[in-house]
């Protein structure tokens, strides 16, 4: 395939894993720093921290909106095309919230409003964290049971772990909050990221032939798999961004980031470890 050529033969296992390992280390530092400052690895959005989100299509400018909502704990206003505006407020008490909804329904009757209370947000956050941890453990068990060899299984689990950690770090860097939608995206990423790793491991361990042939064959198939998904997700991102569909925009952005890191982790980290394992005498 002509998109770009990648010559796995050329590099030693050490050279392959060094870039992703450095990135993983940096990502872990970012997550640790954010955890210390906000109490969670990724800055929580209103789903988890409590607050109100308003989506409205209006010709009013951000400054006009800021003046309009001056009496309320406004956090941010983001703009899309076609006059779409996405306004966020931090948590407020019931009376203030009622006056806000009254103001919105009088001024912008076509708005969409979502409000999450602080304690409810906390419950959601705890459950989401449990879901991510359980999903990851479950995935690891399936991988170990399927391959029944220690090092290749570890390589798959490590790549999936690196995918999630790097994606989470990137979310912090570009300011995508952790919400119900992005939690779902991270979980979906667990499924996606092991896809190509499983293909790679099966091809290398269960097929006859020269290692480098098997690696480049797997790469050939794997990269097209990831690029079809990338293409679908990229379309989703563009359409949801143009149309100001906030939830879908966040989900697709996280998936896109995750898939890019997945290419890196599958074809550098996982290949590196697998190559080292096979040349050391493991496998067939």
| Smaller CB separation from another protein, 76 or 127 | 127
Minimum Å gap between C-beta 25 and another protein is 25
| Smaller CB separation from another protein, 28 or 248 | 248
Minimum Å gap between C-beta 145 and another protein is 9
| Smaller CB separation from another protein, 74 or 131 | 131
SS3 letters for the chain?
A: CCCCCCCHHHCCHHHHHHHHHHHHHHHHHHHHHHHHHHCCCCCECHHHHCEEEEEEECCCCHHHHHHHCCCCCEEEEEECCCCEEEEEEECCCHHHHHHHHHHHHHHCCCCEEEEECHHHHHHHHHHHHHHHHHHHHHHHHHHHHHHCCHHHHHHHHHHHHHHHHHHHHHHHHHCCCECHHHHHHHHHHHHHHHHHHHHHHHHHHHCCCCHHHHHHHHHHHHHHHHHHHHHHHHHHHHHHHHCCCHHHHHHHHHHHHHHHHHHHHHHHHHHHHHHHHHHCCCCC
| Smaller CB separation from another protein, 75 or 180 | 180
């Amino acid at each position: 395939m002509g998109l770009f050529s990648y010559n796995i033969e050329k590099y030693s296992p050490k050279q392959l894993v060094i870039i992703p390992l450095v990135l993983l280390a940096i990502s872990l530092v970012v997550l640790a720093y954010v955890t210390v400052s906000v109490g969670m690895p990724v800055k929580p959005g209103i789903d988890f921290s409590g607050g109100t989100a308003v989506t409205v299509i209006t010709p009013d400018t951000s400054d006009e909106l800021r003046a309009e909502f001056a009496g309320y704990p406004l956090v941010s206003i983001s703009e899309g095309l076609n006059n779409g505006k996405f306004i966020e407020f931090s948590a407020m008490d019931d009376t203030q919230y009622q006056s806000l909804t009254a103001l919105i329904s009088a001024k912008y009757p076509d708005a969409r409003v979502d409000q999450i209370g602080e304690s409810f947000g906390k419950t959601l956050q705890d459950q989401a964290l449990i879901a991510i941890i359980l999903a990851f453990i479950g995935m690891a068990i399936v991988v170990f049971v399927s391959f029944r060899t220690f090092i290749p299984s570890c390589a798959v689990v490590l790549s999936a772990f690196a995918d999630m950690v790097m994606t989470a770090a990137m979310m912090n860097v570009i300011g995508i909050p952790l919400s119900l939608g992005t939690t779902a995206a991270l979980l979906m990423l667990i499924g996606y990221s092991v896809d190509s790793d499983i293909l790679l491991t099966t091809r290398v361990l269960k097929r006859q032939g020269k290692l480098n042939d098997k690696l480049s064959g797997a790469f050939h198939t794997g990269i097209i798999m990831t690029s079809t998904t990338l293409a679908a997700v990229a379309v989703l991102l563009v359409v949801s961004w143009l149309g100001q569909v906030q939830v879908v925009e966040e989900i697709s952005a996280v998936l896109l980031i995750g898939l890019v890191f997945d290419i890196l982790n599958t074809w550098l980290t996982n290949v590196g470890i697998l190559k080292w394992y096979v040349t050391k005498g493991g496998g067939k």
